[in-house]
Structure 1
C-alpha cells in the first residue's frame, strides 16, 4: 500500500468543489454543460493533491475563463450517489461578480456551452433536486455569514 492508498473499509469519496457567483440583483450564475441536460454551478472534481479551494478556482478558470477571488466555504455536503459512490461536495462563495469581470466570461465550449444569472426562486426548476438543495443551503449560509454541513443536501444537526 502506498502513502495514498486508503486502507480497506475506509471511505474514499469522489470530491468536487463549486462556486456561487452573484450579480447585483442577487441572481446566481449557473452554467449549462455541453455533455448533459440541465444547469450546474461552476466547478467540478478535484485533481489528486488539490485542495477544494484550488479545485474550485481551477474549474472556474477552465470553464469560464475568469479568475475572480473565491471567498469562504459555504457548504460541505456528504452526498453519496447510488451509482457513483461516496461524494464530498464543497460550495464556496464567489461574491458579486463586478460588471467588468462578467464581461470577460467566455464559456470554454467544451464542457460549458452557456451561462446565465438566475433568481433563487428559479433554482428548483433548473437544477437537479440534490444540487438545488445544496445551492439553497449555500445561499442561506451566505446570508447568515455561516458555513453549513449537509448530508444529501439536507442540514444535519
Structure 2
C-alpha cells in the first residue's frame, strides 16, 4: 500500500476531536452552560481546531466561553463517542468523536464572579448538583460528565470511556455514586461537647485504617454515601459510643478502638446534636446485610477529603475535617496521600 493509499484509508475512519472541562464549586456542583444552539446543557468546551492539541483547545474554549484565562493540564477522561450516540443530522456527516475531558478544578467565589459570557452562543451558566446532570444534559453527555467526576474523586488518573461509560469501571462507577441527590446537611459544626439537655439524634464515626483513610458506606440501591453510624436506640442507654459501635457492626461489620470525640452538629430545624467521633479501625469482617434495609453496603476506604466530596455538607465541613486530622494525629495515624479508593472485601485485622 502506498503512502497515498494508506492516507486515504485512514481518512475514511477519521473521527472528530473535541474537548470539555469539568469545573466544580466548593459544594461539588458542576458548572454547565445553556447554549443557544441546543436544548440541553453542556460542559464548557468545543471542537479541537486544526493544529491544536486538545489541552490548548480546552484553554481556548474557556477563554471564549467564560472569559477565563487558565492552563488546562490534567486529564480526567477520554471518551470514544460513536456516531449512533449523537443525534446529529445526516447533513453534518458526523462519523464519531474522540472527546477529552479535563479537570478545571474547584472554583471559589472570586473565580466564579470573574466569569464573563460572550454576546452569543453561551446564554447562561449554573452549578448543578451531580444528580441533576441527567436531567439537564443529553444522556451521553451526562454519562461522560459523571464518569469524569467520579474519576476526579477517585484520583486514579485518566479513565477511558466508550459513549460515556468506563471500559474498566471502578467501585465508584459500579456503585453509581453521585447519581442520586446528596443529602444537603449544612449544619454548623461545634468542636466541643454538646450542651447538656440537648438530645443526641445521630452518632457517626470517621473510622481510620492504618494508612489514614476512613470507611465510607455506599448504598447499592441509590449510590448514596454515608459514614458508619446511626440513630440511638434504647439499648444504647444514652451512650453515643455504644450507638456508634452497634451501628458500625450492623452496617459495616467493623470494630474499632477507643474513639475520640470530635464535636457535634447542631440542626437549626430540630433541637438536637449529631455527634462525630474518630477512631482507629481494629478489624473489618465480611460484608453483611443491614437488618433494617436488607442490603449490604459497599464499603470503601477513602481519604477524609475524598469522603467529603461524596457529601454536601457545605462550609462547616472544613472545620469538621480539621477536627478529624487533629484526632488522627493524636491516634498516631499518618495522613493519607490522595489515591484511588479501595473496596473492602476481605476480612482484615490490624
TM-score (structure 2 length as normaliser)? 0.42
- From the superposition, tell whether residues 58 and 154 of structure 1 become closer, same or farther in structure 2 (CA, over 3 Å): same
Looking at structure 2, the residues matched to 153 and 85 of structure 1 have their Cα atoms a distance apart, in angstroms, of 17
Q: How does 1:6-155 map to 2 (within 5 A)?
A: 7-10=7-10, 11-82=13-84, 83=88, 84-145=94-155, 146-155=157-166
- 1:142 is displaced (CA, Å) by 0.1
- From the superposition, tell whether residues 69 and 100 of structure 1 become closer, same or farther in structure 2 (CA, over 3 Å): farther
- 1:44 is displaced (CA, Å) by 0.1
- 1:7 is displaced (CA, Å) by 1.3
TM-score (structure 1 length as normaliser)? 0.92
Looking at structure 1, the residues matched to 107 and 71 of structure 2 have their Cα atoms a distance apart, in angstroms, of 10
Q: 1:28-76 CA distances to partner (integer Å, 9 max, x unpaired)?
A: 0000111221100000001101000000010010011112342410000
- 1:98 is displaced (CA, Å) by 2.1
Q: Number of residue pairs matched?
A: 154
Answer yes or no: is the 8 Å Cα contact 1:34–1:109 preserved in 2: no
| Structure 1 unmatched ranges of 5 or more | none
Query: Using CA pairs below 8 Å that are at least 6 residues apart, which structure has the higher relative contact order?
Result: 1
- 1:104 is displaced (CA, Å) by 1.1
Answer yes or no: is the 8 Å Cα contact 1:16–1:44 preserved in 2: yes
Looking at structure 2, the residues matched to 121 and 79 of structure 1 have their Cα atoms a distance apart, in angstroms, of 22
Looking at structure 2, the residues matched to 121 and 80 of structure 1 have their Cα atoms a distance apart, in angstroms, of 24
- 1:122 is displaced (CA, Å) by 0.4
The Cα RMSD (Å) is 1.7
- 1:8 is displaced (CA, Å) by 2.2
Answer yes or no: is the 8 Å Cα contact 2:56–2:72 preserved in 1: no
Looking at structure 2, the residues matched to 71 and 50 of structure 1 have their Cα atoms a distance apart, in angstroms, of 14
Stretch of structure 1 that moved more, 79-88 or 16-25: 79-88
| Structure 2 unmatched ranges of 5 or more | 89-93, 169-350
